[in-house]
Each structure stands twice: as structure tokens, then as C-alpha cells.
Amino acid sequence: MRKLAAWIAVAVAMVFFTGAVIAAPPDKITIKEIQKTKAPVAYDHKAHATKVKECKECHHKDAAGKEQGCGKCHGAKAEGKKVDLKEAFHTQCKACHKKEGKGPQKCDECHPKK
């Protein structure tokens, strides 16, 4: 009986720890690698994650709780059917902001003048 209780405690601890790791997105993020002529984009990732709820709405290929790597598929010069990183961000972010009726949609609203 003690062994069963110990295994249950370990299982509960693992579930709690895994949930805590997945539920903690970074607070702020700065995207700087996609635009050489404009300022980097800084935004409140935690606020976006709280509002959106499902990571896959933005991170359509990466698993929640893992390092997100948009550049893995959307490289600077993506080939074939994949859009490049700059276009992927612009399409994803602007489309959502337009749909929601709020948030920046023009260049200087995301990329402040240097």
C-alpha cells in the first residue's frame, strides 16, 4: 500500500510540475531578427497568451511548453510553399489584430522609429 501511495504522489508531482512549466510563457518578447530596416518589435507575450488561450493559434507547429522556433520552418528566405519569417509574423499578427478590431496594424505601430 505504501508503494502505491508513493507512486501516486510521484505521478501527481509530475503532472503538477509539467503543468506549471507549460503554463508559464515568457512575459515580454522582442522580435529583432526579421526586420533590418525597422526597429525590433517588443510585445507582451503573457497578455497575448492569456487572451488567446491556445498556443497553437500562433505557434501552429510547436508544442506548448517547448522552445518556439518559427525560424526553423520560416527562414529568412523560405523556399517552396513556406512563407518567410517576416511575412509569417506580418500575416499572423496583423490578421488577428484586424479580426479583433484592436492592436497595431501599421508599420510604425509595431516598429517604433529608431
- Residue pair 94/105 in contact (Cβ under 8 Å)? The answer is yes
3-class state of residue 42 by DSSP = strand
Pick the CATH number of 26-110 from 1.10.20.140, 3.40.50.740, 3.90.10.10, 3.40.50.300: 3.90.10.10
All three cell numbers of 44: 507582451
Instruction: Kindly report whether the global pTM for this prediction surpasses the value 0.75.
Output: no
Residue-level pLDDT at 2:
67
Distance from CA of residue 9 to its chain's centroid?
A: 32
Hey, where are the domains in the chain?
Answer: 26-110
114 residues of the chain, pLDDT tens digit each? 666 554 555 555 555 554 444 556 678 888 876 667 788 888 898 888 888 878 888 887 766 666 667 777 777 665 666 788 888 888 888 899 999 898 888 888 888 876
CA 112, 44, 84: angle at the middle one, nearest 5? 65
Residue-level pLDDT at 20:
46
Grid-cell match 488577428, residue found: 96
Grid-cell match 488567446, residue found: 52
Q: Is 99 left (phi over 0), alpha (psi -120 to 50) or beta?
A: alpha
Which DSSP category does 25 fall into?
A: -
CA 77, 79, 84: angle at the middle one, nearest 5? 45
